Structure 1
Protein backbone atom coordinates (compact mmCIF):
# COMPACT_ATOMS: atom_id res chain seq x y z
CA UNK A 1 0.00 0.00 0.00
CA UNK A 2 1.22 3.52 -0.82
CA UNK A 3 2.50 5.60 2.09
CA UNK A 4 -0.18 8.20 1.42
CA UNK A 5 -2.89 5.53 1.68
CA UNK A 6 -1.73 4.06 4.99
CA UNK A 7 -3.81 4.63 8.12
CA UNK A 8 -2.03 6.82 10.66
CA UNK A 9 -1.09 4.91 13.82
CA UNK A 10 -1.10 8.16 15.80
CA UNK A 11 -4.77 9.09 15.58
CA UNK A 12 -6.82 5.90 15.62
CA UNK A 13 -9.54 7.53 17.73
CA UNK A 14 -9.62 10.86 15.91
CA UNK A 15 -13.41 11.02 15.97
CA UNK A 16 -13.36 10.98 19.78
CA UNK A 17 -10.96 13.91 20.21
CA UNK A 18 -12.08 17.05 21.98
CA UNK A 19 -12.11 20.00 19.57
CA UNK A 20 -8.81 21.59 20.72
CA UNK A 21 -7.09 18.21 20.46
CA UNK A 22 -8.67 17.58 17.03
CA UNK A 23 -7.46 20.89 15.63
CA UNK A 24 -3.99 20.36 17.11
CA UNK A 25 -3.74 16.94 15.46
CA UNK A 26 -4.29 18.48 12.02
CA UNK A 27 -1.95 21.41 12.65
CA UNK A 28 0.89 19.29 14.04
CA UNK A 29 0.63 16.82 11.17
CA UNK A 30 1.20 19.64 8.67
CA UNK A 31 4.73 20.06 10.04
CA UNK A 32 5.64 16.89 8.18
CA UNK A 33 4.80 18.66 4.92
CA UNK A 34 7.48 21.25 5.65
CA UNK A 35 9.98 18.51 6.47
CA UNK A 36 9.17 16.69 3.23
CA UNK A 37 9.82 19.83 1.17
CA UNK A 38 13.04 20.50 3.06
CA UNK A 39 14.24 16.99 2.22
CA UNK A 40 13.47 17.61 -1.47
CA UNK A 41 15.34 20.94 -1.59
CA UNK A 42 18.28 19.57 -3.65
CA UNK A 43 15.90 18.22 -6.29
CA UNK A 44 13.97 21.49 -6.37
CA UNK A 45 17.23 23.40 -6.89
CA UNK A 46 18.17 21.03 -9.71
CA UNK A 47 14.74 21.56 -11.27
CA UNK A 48 15.14 25.34 -11.24
CA UNK A 49 18.64 25.08 -12.74
CA UNK A 50 17.40 22.80 -15.53
CA UNK A 51 14.32 24.90 -16.24
CA UNK A 52 16.04 28.29 -16.33
CA UNK A 53 17.75 28.12 -19.75
CA UNK A 54 14.64 26.70 -21.38
CA UNK A 55 12.35 29.35 -19.94
CA UNK A 56 14.88 32.09 -20.74
CA UNK A 57 14.82 30.84 -24.34
CA UNK A 58 11.07 31.39 -24.53
CA UNK A 59 9.67 28.16 -23.10
CA UNK A 60 6.45 27.77 -21.17
CA UNK A 61 5.57 26.36 -17.78
CA UNK A 62 2.90 23.68 -18.20
CA UNK A 63 1.29 22.20 -15.09
CA UNK A 64 -0.51 18.84 -15.25
CA UNK A 65 -2.50 17.08 -12.54
CA UNK A 66 -5.79 15.60 -11.38
CA UNK A 67 -7.95 16.42 -8.38
CA UNK A 68 -6.22 18.33 -5.59
CA UNK A 69 -2.84 18.07 -7.31
CA UNK A 70 -4.23 19.49 -10.54
CA UNK A 71 -5.99 22.35 -8.74
CA UNK A 72 -2.74 23.25 -7.00
CA UNK A 73 -1.04 23.38 -10.39
CA UNK A 74 -3.75 25.72 -11.68
CA UNK A 75 -3.30 27.91 -8.62
CA UNK A 76 0.45 28.26 -9.10
CA UNK A 77 0.06 29.00 -12.79
CA UNK A 78 -2.52 31.75 -12.43
CA UNK A 79 -0.64 33.55 -9.65
CA UNK A 80 2.47 34.14 -11.73
CA UNK A 81 0.98 36.99 -13.76
CA UNK A 82 -0.18 39.27 -10.92
CA UNK A 83 2.92 38.51 -8.86
CA UNK A 84 5.66 38.65 -11.49
CA UNK A 85 3.98 39.93 -14.69
CA UNK A 86 4.68 36.50 -16.17
CA UNK A 87 2.79 36.20 -19.49
CA UNK A 88 -0.39 34.18 -19.03
CA UNK A 89 0.21 32.32 -22.29
CA UNK A 90 3.48 31.02 -20.84
CA UNK A 91 1.95 29.53 -17.68
CA UNK A 92 -0.62 26.93 -18.66
CA UNK A 93 -2.37 24.26 -16.64
CA UNK A 94 -4.06 21.00 -17.59
CA UNK A 95 -6.54 19.51 -15.14
CA UNK A 96 -8.00 16.05 -15.65
CA UNK A 97 -11.65 16.53 -16.53
CA UNK A 98 -11.14 20.01 -17.96
CA UNK A 99 -11.81 23.46 -16.57
CA UNK A 100 -15.05 22.43 -14.85
CA UNK A 101 -13.07 19.97 -12.70
CA UNK A 102 -11.63 22.97 -10.88
CA UNK A 103 -14.97 23.31 -9.09
CA UNK A 104 -16.69 19.92 -9.38
CA UNK A 105 -14.97 16.54 -9.25
CA UNK A 106 -15.09 14.74 -12.60
CA UNK A 107 -15.11 11.07 -11.68
CA UNK A 108 -12.85 8.81 -13.71
CA UNK A 109 -11.01 11.62 -15.50
CA UNK A 110 -7.78 10.89 -13.68
CA UNK A 111 -7.79 7.29 -14.98
CA UNK A 112 -7.68 8.35 -18.64
CA UNK A 113 -4.05 8.13 -19.71
CA UNK A 114 -4.71 8.67 -23.44
CA UNK A 115 -6.63 11.86 -22.63
CA UNK A 116 -3.68 13.14 -20.60
CA UNK A 117 -1.41 12.52 -23.58
CA UNK A 118 -3.87 14.16 -25.98
CA UNK A 119 -4.37 17.22 -23.76
CA UNK A 120 -0.62 17.75 -23.46
CA UNK A 121 0.00 17.17 -27.16
CA UNK A 122 -2.74 19.71 -27.90
CA UNK A 123 -0.53 22.42 -26.42
CA UNK A 124 2.14 21.57 -29.02
CA UNK A 125 5.02 21.35 -26.54
CA UNK A 126 8.60 21.73 -27.64
CA UNK A 127 12.07 21.36 -26.18
CA UNK A 128 11.99 24.72 -24.40
CA UNK A 129 8.85 23.93 -22.42
CA UNK A 130 8.95 22.80 -18.80
CA UNK A 131 6.17 20.42 -17.77
CA UNK A 132 5.38 20.07 -14.07
CA UNK A 133 3.54 16.80 -13.46
CA UNK A 134 1.76 16.40 -10.14
CA UNK A 135 0.30 13.30 -8.52
CA UNK A 136 0.25 12.43 -4.83
CA UNK A 137 0.26 8.72 -5.65
CA UNK A 138 2.83 9.19 -8.39
CA UNK A 139 0.87 6.82 -10.59
CA UNK A 140 -2.17 8.76 -11.85
CA UNK A 141 -2.82 7.54 -15.44
CA UNK A 142 -3.83 10.99 -16.77
CA UNK A 143 -0.56 12.47 -15.52
CA UNK A 144 1.55 9.57 -16.78
CA UNK A 145 -0.08 9.93 -20.19
CA UNK A 146 0.86 13.62 -20.25
CA UNK A 147 4.39 12.68 -19.16
CA UNK A 148 4.79 10.36 -22.14
CA UNK A 149 3.63 13.05 -24.55
CA UNK A 150 5.91 15.65 -22.96
CA UNK A 151 8.94 13.37 -23.15
CA UNK A 152 8.18 12.58 -26.80
CA UNK A 153 8.25 16.33 -27.51
CA UNK A 154 11.59 16.77 -25.76
CA UNK A 155 10.19 19.01 -23.01
CA UNK A 156 11.79 19.06 -19.57
CA UNK A 157 9.63 16.88 -17.30
CA UNK A 158 9.52 17.54 -13.55
CA UNK A 159 7.62 14.90 -11.59
CA UNK A 160 6.17 15.68 -8.15
CA UNK A 161 4.86 12.76 -6.07
CA UNK A 162 4.29 11.98 -2.39
CA UNK A 163 5.38 8.34 -2.47
CA UNK A 164 8.95 7.07 -2.85
CA UNK A 165 9.71 5.00 -5.93
CA UNK A 166 6.68 6.29 -7.85
CA UNK A 167 6.50 5.76 -11.63
CA UNK A 168 6.08 9.51 -12.13
CA UNK A 169 9.31 10.49 -10.40
CA UNK A 170 11.18 7.54 -11.90
CA UNK A 171 10.20 8.44 -15.47
CA UNK A 172 10.53 12.24 -15.21
CA UNK A 173 13.78 14.02 -16.05
CA UNK A 174 13.89 15.23 -12.45
CA UNK A 175 11.82 13.48 -9.81
CA UNK A 176 10.81 15.41 -6.69
CA UNK A 177 9.57 13.11 -3.93
CA UNK A 178 7.63 14.78 -1.13
CA UNK A 179 7.39 11.87 1.30
CA UNK A 180 4.64 13.04 3.64
CA UNK A 181 3.57 9.58 4.80
CA UNK A 182 0.16 8.65 6.19
CA UNK A 183 -2.52 11.31 6.55
CA UNK A 184 -4.43 12.11 9.74
CA UNK A 185 -7.56 11.11 7.80
CA UNK A 186 -6.48 7.98 5.98
CA UNK A 187 -5.91 8.58 2.28
CA UNK A 188 -6.99 12.23 2.24
CA UNK A 189 -4.12 13.68 0.24
CA UNK A 190 -5.74 17.11 0.27
CA UNK A 191 -4.11 17.38 3.72
CA UNK A 192 -0.34 17.39 4.19
CA UNK A 193 0.40 15.81 0.80
CA UNK A 194 -1.36 18.75 -0.83
CA UNK A 195 0.39 21.21 1.48
CA UNK A 196 3.78 19.82 0.49
CA UNK A 197 2.91 20.08 -3.20
CA UNK A 198 1.80 23.68 -2.75
CA UNK A 199 5.04 24.59 -0.98
CA UNK A 200 7.18 22.78 -3.54
CA UNK A 201 5.46 24.50 -6.48
CA UNK A 202 5.66 27.87 -4.76
CA UNK A 203 9.36 27.34 -4.08
CA UNK A 204 10.11 26.22 -7.62
CA UNK A 205 8.25 29.00 -9.42
CA UNK A 206 9.37 31.75 -7.03
CA UNK A 207 13.04 30.72 -7.26
CA UNK A 208 12.73 30.59 -11.04
CA UNK A 209 11.26 34.10 -11.13
CA UNK A 210 14.08 35.42 -8.94
CA UNK A 211 16.58 34.02 -11.44
CA UNK A 212 14.60 35.65 -14.26
CA UNK A 213 15.16 39.08 -12.67
CA UNK A 214 11.63 39.50 -11.37
CA UNK A 215 12.92 40.43 -7.91
CA UNK A 216 15.28 43.18 -6.66
CA UNK A 217 16.73 42.35 -3.27
CA UNK A 218 13.68 40.63 -1.83
CA UNK A 219 11.20 43.07 -3.36
CA UNK A 220 8.55 42.02 -5.87
CA UNK A 221 9.47 44.63 -8.46
CA UNK A 222 7.94 43.23 -11.65
CA UNK A 223 4.47 43.80 -10.27
CA UNK A 224 1.93 45.37 -12.63
CA UNK A 225 -0.96 46.36 -10.35
CA UNK A 226 -4.51 45.85 -11.54
CA UNK A 227 -6.45 47.14 -8.54
CA UNK A 228 -6.24 49.72 -5.75
CA UNK A 229 -4.61 47.34 -3.27
CA UNK A 230 -1.86 46.41 -5.71
CA UNK A 231 -1.28 50.05 -6.67
CA UNK A 232 -0.68 50.82 -2.99
CA UNK A 233 1.71 47.90 -2.85
CA UNK A 234 3.54 49.17 -5.92
CA UNK A 235 3.89 52.57 -4.28
CA UNK A 236 5.23 51.07 -1.07
CA UNK A 237 7.73 48.90 -2.97
CA UNK A 238 8.96 51.86 -5.00
CA UNK A 239 9.39 54.03 -1.92
CA UNK A 240 11.24 51.28 -0.06
CA UNK A 241 13.62 50.63 -2.94
CA UNK A 242 14.38 54.27 -3.71
CA UNK A 243 13.72 56.30 -0.57
CA UNK A 244 11.50 58.60 -2.65
CA UNK A 245 8.65 60.44 -0.94
CA UNK A 246 5.07 59.35 -1.72
CA UNK A 247 4.32 62.19 -4.11
CA UNK A 248 7.47 61.72 -6.17
CA UNK A 249 7.14 57.94 -6.27
CA UNK A 250 3.47 58.16 -7.24
CA UNK A 251 4.21 60.64 -10.01
CA UNK A 252 6.85 58.42 -11.63
CA UNK A 253 4.72 55.32 -11.25
CA UNK A 254 1.89 57.08 -13.07
CA UNK A 255 4.26 57.88 -15.94
CA UNK A 256 5.31 54.23 -16.36
CA UNK A 257 1.90 52.59 -15.92
CA UNK A 258 2.81 51.60 -12.36
CA UNK A 259 5.63 49.30 -13.46
CA UNK A 260 7.73 49.17 -10.31
CA UNK A 261 10.97 48.14 -12.01
CA UNK A 262 10.92 51.11 -14.33
CA UNK A 263 10.03 53.53 -11.54
CA UNK A 264 12.92 52.33 -9.37
CA UNK A 265 15.53 52.76 -12.09
CA UNK A 266 14.14 56.14 -13.14
CA UNK A 267 14.10 57.46 -9.58
CA UNK A 268 17.47 56.12 -8.46
CA UNK A 269 19.33 57.21 -11.60
CA UNK A 270 17.39 60.37 -12.36
CA UNK A 271 16.32 59.06 -15.76
CA UNK A 272 13.20 59.54 -17.81
CA UNK A 273 10.82 56.62 -17.98
CA UNK A 274 11.94 55.87 -21.54
CA UNK A 275 15.59 55.90 -20.49
CA UNK A 276 14.84 53.64 -17.52
CA UNK A 277 13.09 51.14 -19.77
CA UNK A 278 16.06 51.13 -22.14
CA UNK A 279 18.46 50.55 -19.24
CA UNK A 280 16.38 47.60 -18.05
CA UNK A 281 16.22 46.15 -21.55
CA UNK A 282 20.00 46.36 -21.83
CA UNK A 283 20.31 44.61 -18.46
CA UNK A 284 17.89 41.81 -19.44
CA UNK A 285 15.36 43.10 -16.95
CA UNK A 286 17.70 43.10 -13.95
CA UNK A 287 17.15 46.15 -11.76
CA UNK A 288 20.46 45.57 -10.00
CA UNK A 289 22.47 45.43 -13.22
CA UNK A 290 20.62 48.43 -14.67
CA UNK A 291 21.56 50.45 -11.59
CA UNK A 292 25.18 49.32 -11.65
CA UNK A 293 25.74 49.67 -15.39
CA UNK A 294 23.31 52.25 -16.82
CA UNK A 295 23.59 52.59 -20.59
Structure 2
Protein backbone atom coordinates (compact mmCIF):
# COMPACT_ATOMS: atom_id res chain seq x y z
CA UNK A 1 0.00 0.00 0.00
CA UNK A 2 2.76 2.43 0.96
CA UNK A 3 4.79 1.82 -2.18
CA UNK A 4 1.65 2.31 -4.30
CA UNK A 5 1.05 5.71 -2.68
CA UNK A 6 4.64 6.78 -3.30
CA UNK A 7 4.47 5.68 -6.94
CA UNK A 8 1.15 7.48 -7.40
CA UNK A 9 2.59 10.64 -5.88
CA UNK A 10 5.63 10.45 -8.17
CA UNK A 11 3.33 10.11 -11.19
CA UNK A 12 1.31 13.20 -10.23
CA UNK A 13 4.03 15.24 -8.56
CA UNK A 14 4.24 18.01 -11.17
CA UNK A 15 0.47 18.51 -11.25
CA UNK A 16 0.30 18.62 -7.44
CA UNK A 17 3.09 21.20 -7.23
CA UNK A 18 1.55 23.34 -9.97
CA UNK A 19 -1.83 23.38 -8.22
CA UNK A 20 -0.40 24.22 -4.80
CA UNK A 21 1.87 26.95 -6.22
CA UNK A 22 -1.09 28.53 -7.99
CA UNK A 23 -3.18 28.37 -4.83
CA UNK A 24 -0.53 29.99 -2.61
CA UNK A 25 0.37 32.70 -5.13
CA UNK A 26 -3.30 33.54 -5.66
CA UNK A 27 -4.03 34.02 -1.97
CA UNK A 28 -0.72 35.36 -0.62
CA UNK A 29 0.92 38.33 -2.34
CA UNK A 30 4.67 38.37 -2.86
CA UNK A 31 7.35 40.99 -3.69
CA UNK A 32 5.52 43.83 -1.93
CA UNK A 33 7.09 46.83 -0.16
CA UNK A 34 5.51 45.68 3.10
CA UNK A 35 4.45 42.06 3.69
CA UNK A 36 1.99 42.04 6.58
CA UNK A 37 1.60 38.92 8.69
CA UNK A 38 -2.15 39.42 9.17
CA UNK A 39 -2.60 39.42 5.38
CA UNK A 40 -0.67 36.16 5.19
CA UNK A 41 -2.91 34.63 7.85
CA UNK A 42 -6.00 35.72 5.93
CA UNK A 43 -4.60 34.08 2.82
CA UNK A 44 -3.82 30.88 4.71
CA UNK A 45 -7.42 30.62 5.92
CA UNK A 46 -8.56 30.93 2.30
CA UNK A 47 -6.13 28.19 1.33
CA UNK A 48 -7.31 25.96 4.19
CA UNK A 49 -10.95 26.37 3.11
CA UNK A 50 -10.02 25.16 -0.38
CA UNK A 51 -7.53 22.44 0.60
CA UNK A 52 -9.26 20.61 3.40
CA UNK A 53 -6.88 17.65 3.49
CA UNK A 54 -3.76 19.42 4.78
CA UNK A 55 -2.11 18.47 8.05
CA UNK A 56 -0.38 21.76 8.92
CA UNK A 57 -0.18 25.34 7.70
CA UNK A 58 2.55 27.50 9.20
CA UNK A 59 4.84 30.45 8.50
CA UNK A 60 8.57 30.71 9.23
CA UNK A 61 10.55 33.92 9.45
CA UNK A 62 13.90 34.43 7.73
CA UNK A 63 15.63 32.55 10.57
CA UNK A 64 13.29 29.54 10.41
CA UNK A 65 11.19 30.35 13.50
CA UNK A 66 7.41 29.85 13.59
CA UNK A 67 5.82 33.28 13.78
CA UNK A 68 2.44 32.00 15.08
CA UNK A 69 0.85 28.73 16.20
CA UNK A 70 0.40 26.44 13.19
CA UNK A 71 -3.05 25.97 11.69
CA UNK A 72 -4.22 22.36 11.74
CA UNK A 73 -7.57 20.58 11.46
CA UNK A 74 -6.25 18.07 14.00
CA UNK A 75 -6.32 19.52 17.51
CA UNK A 76 -3.85 16.89 18.76
CA UNK A 77 -1.08 18.36 16.59
CA UNK A 78 0.73 21.09 18.47
CA UNK A 79 3.10 23.41 16.58
CA UNK A 80 3.73 26.41 18.81
CA UNK A 81 5.08 29.84 17.97
CA UNK A 82 8.85 30.11 18.33
CA UNK A 83 9.78 26.58 17.23
CA UNK A 84 12.76 26.63 14.91
CA UNK A 85 12.80 24.83 11.56
CA UNK A 86 15.92 26.25 9.96
CA UNK A 87 17.39 22.75 9.72
CA UNK A 88 14.64 21.54 7.40
CA UNK A 89 15.47 20.95 3.75
CA UNK A 90 12.25 22.55 2.50
CA UNK A 91 13.23 25.79 4.25
CA UNK A 92 16.72 25.96 2.74
CA UNK A 93 15.76 24.70 -0.72
CA UNK A 94 12.98 27.22 -1.22
CA UNK A 95 15.36 30.03 -0.21
CA UNK A 96 18.18 28.72 -2.40
CA UNK A 97 15.95 28.28 -5.45
CA UNK A 98 13.83 31.38 -4.67
CA UNK A 99 10.67 29.56 -5.64
CA UNK A 100 8.09 27.17 -4.25
CA UNK A 101 9.35 23.61 -3.82
CA UNK A 102 7.56 20.34 -3.12
CA UNK A 103 9.47 17.81 -1.03
CA UNK A 104 9.70 14.05 -1.30
CA UNK A 105 7.63 12.11 1.28
CA UNK A 106 9.10 12.11 4.80
CA UNK A 107 7.86 11.32 8.35
CA UNK A 108 6.23 14.33 9.98
CA UNK A 109 7.69 15.34 13.36
CA UNK A 110 4.22 16.50 14.39
CA UNK A 111 2.15 13.38 13.64
CA UNK A 112 4.60 10.68 12.53
CA UNK A 113 2.68 10.22 9.29
CA UNK A 114 4.33 10.42 5.88
CA UNK A 115 3.78 13.90 4.47
CA UNK A 116 5.00 16.16 1.68
CA UNK A 117 5.64 19.85 2.21
CA UNK A 118 5.13 22.76 -0.16
CA UNK A 119 7.18 25.81 0.88
CA UNK A 120 6.62 29.27 -0.59
CA UNK A 121 9.25 32.00 0.10
CA UNK A 122 8.03 35.58 0.44
CA UNK A 123 10.33 38.48 -0.49
CA UNK A 124 9.86 42.22 -0.24
CA UNK A 125 10.36 44.50 -3.23
CA UNK A 126 14.08 44.77 -2.36
CA UNK A 127 14.56 41.02 -2.77
CA UNK A 128 14.97 40.40 0.97
CA UNK A 129 13.51 37.22 2.44
CA UNK A 130 10.72 37.96 4.91
CA UNK A 131 8.76 34.73 5.44
CA UNK A 132 8.46 31.16 4.18
CA UNK A 133 4.92 29.81 4.03
CA UNK A 134 4.67 26.02 4.45
CA UNK A 135 1.93 23.44 4.07
CA UNK A 136 2.21 19.78 5.10
CA UNK A 137 -0.08 17.34 3.29
CA UNK A 138 -0.46 13.63 4.16
CA UNK A 139 1.03 11.46 1.43
CA UNK A 140 -2.04 9.23 1.19
CA UNK A 141 -4.23 12.25 0.38
CA UNK A 142 -2.08 14.05 -2.17
CA UNK A 143 -3.84 12.35 -5.10
CA UNK A 144 -7.08 14.07 -4.07
CA UNK A 145 -5.57 17.46 -4.88
CA UNK A 146 -5.56 17.01 -8.64
CA UNK A 147 -8.62 14.73 -8.98
CA UNK A 148 -7.29 12.39 -11.69
CA UNK A 149 -9.54 11.19 -14.48
CA UNK A 150 -11.25 7.82 -13.94
CA UNK A 151 -9.04 6.27 -16.63
CA UNK A 152 -5.82 7.56 -15.06
CA UNK A 153 -5.16 4.33 -13.16
CA UNK A 154 -5.84 2.24 -16.27
CA UNK A 155 -3.39 4.19 -18.42
CA UNK A 156 -0.71 4.08 -15.72
CA UNK A 157 -1.10 0.31 -15.47
CA UNK A 158 -1.15 -0.09 -19.26
CA UNK A 159 2.02 1.98 -19.61
CA UNK A 160 3.79 -0.15 -17.02
CA UNK A 161 2.67 -3.29 -18.84
CA UNK A 162 4.12 -2.00 -22.13
CA UNK A 163 7.42 -1.13 -20.43
CA UNK A 164 7.45 -4.59 -18.85
CA UNK A 165 6.97 -6.27 -22.24
CA UNK A 166 9.68 -4.09 -23.82
CA UNK A 167 12.04 -4.86 -20.93
CA UNK A 168 11.49 -8.61 -21.29
CA UNK A 169 12.04 -8.43 -25.07
CA UNK A 170 15.26 -6.44 -24.69
CA UNK A 171 16.43 -8.82 -21.97
CA UNK A 172 16.11 -11.76 -24.35
CA UNK A 173 17.99 -9.79 -27.00
CA UNK A 174 20.76 -9.18 -24.46
CA UNK A 175 20.73 -12.86 -23.49
CA UNK A 176 20.95 -14.01 -27.14
CA UNK A 177 23.91 -11.71 -27.78
CA UNK A 178 25.65 -12.99 -24.65
CA UNK A 179 25.06 -16.65 -25.57
CA UNK A 180 26.19 -16.11 -29.15
CA UNK A 181 29.32 -14.29 -28.01
CA UNK A 182 30.08 -16.99 -25.45
CA UNK A 183 29.74 -19.76 -28.04
CA UNK A 184 32.10 -17.85 -30.35
CA UNK A 185 34.69 -17.78 -27.57
CA UNK A 186 34.21 -21.50 -26.86
CA UNK A 187 34.60 -22.30 -30.56
CA UNK A 188 37.83 -20.31 -30.62
CA UNK A 189 39.12 -22.23 -27.60
CA UNK A 190 38.25 -25.58 -29.20
CA UNK A 191 40.07 -24.55 -32.38
CA UNK A 192 42.83 -22.59 -30.73
CA UNK A 193 45.47 -23.46 -33.29
CA UNK A 194 43.28 -22.37 -36.22
CA UNK A 195 40.96 -19.67 -34.87
CA UNK A 196 40.50 -16.39 -36.70
CA UNK A 197 41.20 -13.17 -34.79
CA UNK A 198 38.03 -11.77 -36.37
CA UNK A 199 35.97 -14.31 -34.40
CA UNK A 200 37.41 -12.97 -31.14
CA UNK A 201 36.63 -9.38 -32.13
CA UNK A 202 33.06 -10.30 -33.05
CA UNK A 203 32.59 -12.16 -29.76
CA UNK A 204 33.84 -9.11 -27.87
CA UNK A 205 31.43 -6.85 -29.75
CA UNK A 206 28.49 -9.17 -29.05
CA UNK A 207 29.23 -9.37 -25.33
CA UNK A 208 29.79 -5.60 -25.08
CA UNK A 209 26.44 -4.89 -26.78
CA UNK A 210 24.80 -7.46 -24.50
CA UNK A 211 26.07 -5.58 -21.46
CA UNK A 212 24.90 -2.23 -22.85
CA UNK A 213 21.39 -3.54 -23.56
CA UNK A 214 21.21 -5.22 -20.14
CA UNK A 215 22.02 -1.91 -18.43
CA UNK A 216 19.27 -0.27 -20.47
CA UNK A 217 16.80 -3.01 -19.51
CA UNK A 218 17.66 -2.64 -15.83
CA UNK A 219 17.12 1.13 -15.95
CA UNK A 220 13.77 0.83 -17.76
CA UNK A 221 12.51 -1.92 -15.46
CA UNK A 222 13.50 -0.19 -12.23
CA UNK A 223 12.26 3.25 -13.26
CA UNK A 224 9.10 2.55 -15.25
CA UNK A 225 7.90 -0.81 -13.92
CA UNK A 226 8.99 -0.78 -10.27
CA UNK A 227 8.69 3.00 -9.96
CA UNK A 228 12.03 3.53 -8.24
CA UNK A 229 12.83 6.72 -10.12
CA UNK A 230 11.31 10.19 -9.88
CA UNK A 231 13.74 11.32 -7.24
CA UNK A 232 14.83 14.89 -7.50
CA UNK A 233 18.31 14.09 -8.69
CA UNK A 234 18.95 12.29 -11.96
CA UNK A 235 22.30 10.69 -11.17
CA UNK A 236 21.12 7.18 -11.98
CA UNK A 237 19.67 8.27 -15.33
CA UNK A 238 22.95 9.99 -16.30
CA UNK A 239 24.99 7.00 -15.11
CA UNK A 240 22.90 4.56 -17.17
CA UNK A 241 23.13 6.73 -20.28
CA UNK A 242 26.90 7.12 -19.93
CA UNK A 243 27.42 3.39 -19.51
CA UNK A 244 25.16 2.61 -22.47
CA UNK A 245 26.83 5.11 -24.80
CA UNK A 246 30.25 4.02 -23.56
CA UNK A 247 29.48 0.40 -24.42
CA UNK A 248 28.36 1.39 -27.92
CA UNK A 249 31.55 3.41 -28.46
CA UNK A 250 33.69 0.47 -27.30
CA UNK A 251 31.87 -1.90 -29.65
CA UNK A 252 32.33 0.46 -32.62
CA UNK A 253 35.99 0.99 -31.77
CA UNK A 254 36.58 -2.77 -31.74
CA UNK A 255 34.77 -3.05 -35.08
CA UNK A 256 36.98 -0.30 -36.54
CA UNK A 257 40.13 -2.07 -35.31
CA UNK A 258 38.91 -5.33 -36.80
CA UNK A 259 38.30 -3.64 -40.17
CA UNK A 260 41.78 -2.11 -40.13
CA UNK A 261 43.35 -5.57 -39.76
CA UNK A 262 41.01 -7.12 -42.31
CA UNK A 263 41.39 -4.47 -45.02
CA UNK A 264 45.13 -4.15 -44.50
CA UNK A 265 45.61 -7.86 -45.24
CA UNK A 266 42.84 -8.57 -47.76
CA UNK A 267 41.55 -5.34 -49.38
CA UNK A 268 43.89 -2.39 -48.79
CA UNK A 269 41.89 -0.19 -51.17
CA UNK A 270 38.96 -0.27 -48.70
CA UNK A 271 41.06 0.88 -45.74
CA UNK A 272 39.50 4.34 -46.07
CA UNK A 273 36.18 2.95 -44.77
CA UNK A 274 37.88 1.87 -41.58
CA UNK A 275 39.29 5.40 -41.27
CA UNK A 276 35.75 6.80 -41.65
CA UNK A 277 34.54 4.51 -38.88
CA UNK A 278 37.41 5.58 -36.61
CA UNK A 279 36.45 9.21 -37.30
CA UNK A 280 32.86 8.44 -36.34
CA UNK A 281 34.01 6.79 -33.11
CA UNK A 282 36.11 9.87 -32.35
CA UNK A 283 33.07 12.12 -32.81
CA UNK A 284 31.03 9.86 -30.53
CA UNK A 285 33.75 10.11 -27.87
CA UNK A 286 33.69 13.90 -28.14
CA UNK A 287 29.90 13.88 -27.82
CA UNK A 288 30.06 11.51 -24.84
CA UNK A 289 32.66 13.75 -23.18
CA UNK A 290 30.42 16.79 -23.62
CA UNK A 291 27.43 14.86 -22.26
CA UNK A 292 29.44 13.79 -19.19
CA UNK A 293 30.59 17.37 -18.66
CA UNK A 294 27.07 18.81 -18.79
CA UNK A 295 25.65 15.94 -16.74
CA UNK A 296 28.25 16.58 -14.04
CA UNK A 297 27.36 20.29 -14.00
CA UNK A 298 23.67 19.46 -13.67
CA UNK A 299 24.34 17.15 -10.71
CA UNK A 300 26.38 19.86 -9.00
CA UNK A 301 23.54 22.35 -9.49
CA UNK A 302 21.13 19.88 -7.90
Question: Which TM class, normalised by the smaller chain length?
Answer: under 0.3
Pair member with larger Rg:
2
Relative contact order higher in (CA < 8 Å, ≥ 6 apart): 1
